[in-house]
Amino acid sequence: MSSNIAARLTAVRGEMAKLNLDAFIQPRADEYLGEYVPAHNERLLWLTGFTGSAGMAIVMKDSAAVFVDGRYVVQVRQQVDAKLYRYESLTDMPQYQWLAEHLPSGSRVGIDPRCHTLAWFNEAAATLDKVGIELVALNDNPVDICWQPRPVPTKELALLFSDSAAGKTSRQKRTEIAELVKKAGADVALITALDSFCWLLNLRGQDIPRIPVILGTALLYADGTMTLFTDLDKLPQGTAAHVGEGVSFKAEAELSHALASLKGKKLLADPNSANAACQLQAKAAGAKLIAGADPVAVPKACKNPAEMQGMIDSHIRDGVAVSRFLAWLDNEVANGRLYDEAALAEKLEGFRKQHALYREPSFDTISAAGANAAMCHYNHLNGTPKMLEVNSIYLVDSGAQYLDGTTDVTRTIAIGAVTDEQKKLVTLVLKGHIALDQARFPKGTTGQQLDILARQYLWQQGFDYDHGTGHGVGHYLSVHEGPQRIGKNHNAVPLEPGMILSNEPGYYREGAFGIRLENLVMVKPCAALAGAEREIYGFEALTLIPMDKRLFDKKLMTEAEIEWVNRYHQRVYTTLSPMLAGADLTWLRQATAAL
């Protein structure tokens, strides 16, 4: 693999030389700027060998660097040859600032403007200009030129998602969002987030593994009409009738012509999420750019009653499937039968596949034995799956796409005996999980303001974790949905009723083990509080799966925390027990017995 990467670097440098470039920047993102990319757009993987979900590579004439965040500091060293790339932090400083310090004045830096946001492009251009470096927006990506043979895009048909499951018709949604476009003072909005236009049109797709979306870009006009630019071959018969009047479909190649025809129009676009190429092209054609957030994002995040019910139902059946897996695993370990990470992930999916509404995992299962769990986004598919070991910890983070909802859960499991220190650390993570689950907060509160609740007990002992505490989750859409999140980093989006987020504090010790406890929770109004002067919200757990009590140290827990565990497990048992039988039911009864 290393020799292949070296040859690819040489080829890309050859294209750079033709363009008189001193550096070329390739992020993980593709033109749709989503977290997940289809195989034919895995440019960073092709260029470096790195499989993580976030990263960036900079190729210069005689050297190269790969930038990753704290989740991947271990993984990148295993996947990317240090002789070819130096390892750098994705978060310590912007990569264009890094280039400003490593290139001389007069240098030229090439980028594919489709793979960067407009905000990034403007900041990079300004920063580099100050030191005499030119940022060059390329018409053709050097990686695309050199990548031969390149995977071809899928041709799977889109799904006409039922209006009853969606809770609203496409026409209703478009009318509502069009009012937001009008309120922003715009004539038309650029909708680039794949889950946004799929939600607007009540469509789902199969273009990207793990996320039921189709590739494309949309323009939503202030009168509620809409044009989707996509592969027309993927639209099934009846699509026009399904979405209703006012929607037209055009080939993706026609997007450039549509942007070029916006002269004199006011275009609402999110400079922080939409690609720079589209906005630069519209601006060059004479459109006035109005910077604003994707108008679909918040309405989509606030689930309507039908979407809420789908998420509740899907989590109950997911609880049954995962509980059956955990029961099977405990029995196998007790009988001395151990498996590798891949076999465990396959077995878990096998239980989920038994339900007719199951479609696929909502992300690649993180089935991590022992030290592999210290890589919080570990993927056993990237190497030789590790065998479970007796007297260790196993971490499994998995989720499902059902036709009525999306799930995501992490459980940390004792495989035999565990140390007192491991129990202490699991309990500190649990205490943070409980504190966040039980939070009560006034309307207007953001996830950033709540993040410390989950970290406080780890911080008090000198520990932390290098990932966010919670991400949004879509309704049979992306398992990582914005704009809501819970984390240290700035996020000004208030949490609103109907939003669904993960609650997943953790702890990771490199070379030893990893811990994470994750439930999905829904924001809901609290019952009237005596004397309350503000509108108060809280969380309701959707995930109903036992946590491994063998890893809890009761001596470190308060009575209220012990009661929380017992109350949660009683709810799990009451909900799931009617759907389990035999050994599975016996296991559930034991797993949910009071502490």
Are 512 and 289 in contact, with CB atoms under 8 Å apart?
no
What secondary structure, in 3-state letters, does 421-437 show?
HHHHHHHHHHHHHHHHH
State residue 376's pLDDT score: 82
What band does 527 get if pLDDT is binned at 50, 70 and 90? Answer: confident
Are 257 and 178 in contact, with CB atoms under 8 Å apart?
no
Pick the closest to residue 184 from 294, 82, 90 (CA basis): 294
Distance CA 492, CA 443 (A): 13
> What mean pLDDT, rounded, does the chain reach?
96
What radius of gyration, in Å, describes the C-alpha atoms of the chain? 25
What band does 504 get if pLDDT is binned at 50, 70 and 90? Answer: very high
> Which amino acid, 584?
D
Structure pTM?
Answer: 0.93
Distance CA 57, CA 90 (A): 10
Torsion sign (Cα): 85, 86, 91, 97: negative
Distance CA 191, CA 177 (A): 11
Note the pLDDT tens digit of each residue in 219-250: 999 999 999 999 999 999 999 999 999 999 99
Note the pLDDT tens digit of each residue in 37-87: 999 999 999 999 999 889 999 999 999 999 998 778 888 998 999 999 999
Note the pLDDT tens digit of each residue in 1-15: 567 999 999 999 999
State residue 36's pLDDT score: 86
Note the pLDDT tens digit of each residue in 86-143: 999 998 889 999 999 999 999 999 999 999 999 999 999 999 999 999 999 999 999 9
Distance CA 595, CA 592 (A): 9
Pick the closest to residue 500 from 485, 517, 516, 518 (CA basis): 485
Residues 6 or more apart whose Cβ sits within 8 Å of residue 293:
270, 272, 273, 483
Neighbours of 272 (CB within 10 A): 15
State residue 1's pLDDT score: 58
Strand-strand pairing, 470-472 and 441-442: unpaired
Distance CA 65, CA 80 (A): 10
Distances (CA, A) of 75 to 78, 341, 376, 517, 566: 5, 16, 9, 21, 37
Instruction: Burial-class residue 270 by CB neighbours within 10 Å (0-12, 13-18, 19+).
Output: buried
Distance CA 532, CA 510 (A): 46
Note the pLDDT tens digit of each residue in 129-177: 999 999 999 999 999 999 999 999 999 999 999 999 999 999 999 999 9
Helix or strand holding residue 334 (H, E): helix 305-334
Are 56 and 90 in contact, with CB atoms under 8 Å apart?
yes
Dig out the tokens for 588 from the structure.
Answer: 């559930």
Please give the domain boundaries of the chain with CATH numbers for all domains: 2-146 (3.40.350.10), 159-300 (3.40.350.10), 302-591 (3.90.230.10)
Residue percentage of the chain with pLDDT more than 90: 92
Distance CA 595, CA 551 (A): 12
Note the pLDDT tens digit of each residue in 539-593: 999 999 999 999 999 999 999 999 999 999 999 999 999 999 999 999 999 999 9
Residues in the chain: 595
State residue 2's pLDDT score: 66
State residue 350's pLDDT score: 98
Note the pLDDT tens digit of each residue in 337-396: 999 999 999 999 999 999 999 999 999 999 999 999 998 878 888 778 999 999 999 999
Distance CA 367, CA 385 (A): 9
